[in-house]
A = this chain, B = another copy of it.
Amino acid sequence: MKNLIASVKIAITSQLYLKDPESSELGLKIVHKGIDLINSIGFEEFTFRKLGLEIKSPEASIYRYFENKHNFLLYLNAWYWGWMEYRLLIATSNVVSAEKRLEKAVFLMTEGVQNDPNFHGIDLVKLQEIVVAEASKTFLNRRVDKANKVGAYQSYKDFVGNVASIIKEINPTYRYPSMLITTVVEGAHQQRFFAEHLPRLTNKQPKPHYLSKFYMDLVLKTIKSN
């Protein structure tokens, strides 16, 4: 088997899979084509049977990697936030000004992937679209506490923790950094969805980066005065 592991590997708790999908060709195919399929038909319509037809492998083979489609979505979500942590690290290292680092973080949280659209063979544009449209389903259900216990949301928490410490640098007395960050992350996702489907619930602007500007303005005003 050729080496499938590149220099940077996104670490994901082994509790989310039965067998590491990055350890075999079939596993990688499941992830890559799974992203394509969820992106094209949506998570509700997505089944392992359909994915099996796509990759020309039986449904049962996919079940050897993931217990069910919910865990597959948890896996993709964890991978996404692991990758976001990595991007945050790169974007902020060697930047002295905390405010500049915060700006980079907000940009990452609110804007779509642009360059670097492929990493470890994963289509990052599609993966991000999945996270925007489906990620809230990873926690808005009765399995959330169990999933949390096995570390399903660890990389998301770490990301939020990292941005929170930037805010603490800027204003050490500010009491709600995590609340503010998750409001921005989930808010930005919703606004992007609304802009496409329910425009009256948002205020789409023609100018580039209006979303990150809106949220950056909101964050700075909120944490600075008082």
Q: Which residues of B contact A225 (CB under 8 A)?
A: 221, 225
Q: Count the A residues whose beta carbon is within 8 Å of the partner chain — how many?
A: 48
Question: Are A176 and B203 interface neighbours, CB within 8 A?
Answer: yes
A187 within 8 A of partner (CB)? yes
Question: Are B179 and A141 interface neighbours, CB within 8 A?
Answer: no
Question: Are B42 and A142 interface neighbours, CB within 8 A?
Answer: yes
Closest residue of chain B to A43 (Cβ to Cβ) is: B141
Question: Are B186 and A182 interface neighbours, CB within 8 A?
Answer: no
Within 8 A of B (CB), among A145-166: 145, 148, 153, 156-157, 160-161
Q: A153-B198, A222-B221 are in contact. Are A139 and B179 (CB under 8 A)?
A: no
A113 within 8 A of partner (CB)? no
Question: Are B182 and A202 interface neighbours, CB within 8 A?
Answer: yes
A9 within 8 A of partner (CB)? no
Q: Which residues of B contact A179 (CB under 8 A)?
A: 191, 202-203, 214
> Could you tell me the dominant secondary structure of chain A's interface residues?
helix
| A199-226 interface code vs B (CB 8 A; 1 in, 0 out) | 0111101000000001001100110011
The oligomer's copy count stands at 2
Q: Which residues of B contact A42 (CB under 8 A)?
A: 141-142
**Which of A98-106, A116-124, A129-137 lies at the interface with chain B?**
A129-137
Q: What are 26 A-B contacts with C-beta separation under 8 Å?
A: A42-B141, A44-B141, A45-B142, A137-B140, A139-B197, A140-B193, A153-B198, A156-B201, A157-B198, A157-B200, A175-B203, A177-B203, A178-B200, A178-B202, A178-B203, A182-B187, A182-B191, A182-B194, A182-B201, A182-B202, A183-B191, A183-B218, A186-B186, A186-B187, A218-B218, A221-B222
Q: Residues of A with Cβ closer than 8 Å to B?
A: 41-42, 44-45, 133-134, 136-137, 139-142, 144-145, 148, 153, 156-157, 160-161, 175-180, 182-183, 186-187, 190-191, 193-194, 197-198, 200-203, 205, 214, 217-218, 221-222, 225-226
Other than A182-B194, A218-B218, give 12 A-B pairs with Cβ distance below 8 A.
A42-B141, A134-B140, A136-B190, A137-B140, A144-B198, A153-B198, A178-B200, A178-B203, A182-B201, A183-B183, A183-B187, A221-B225
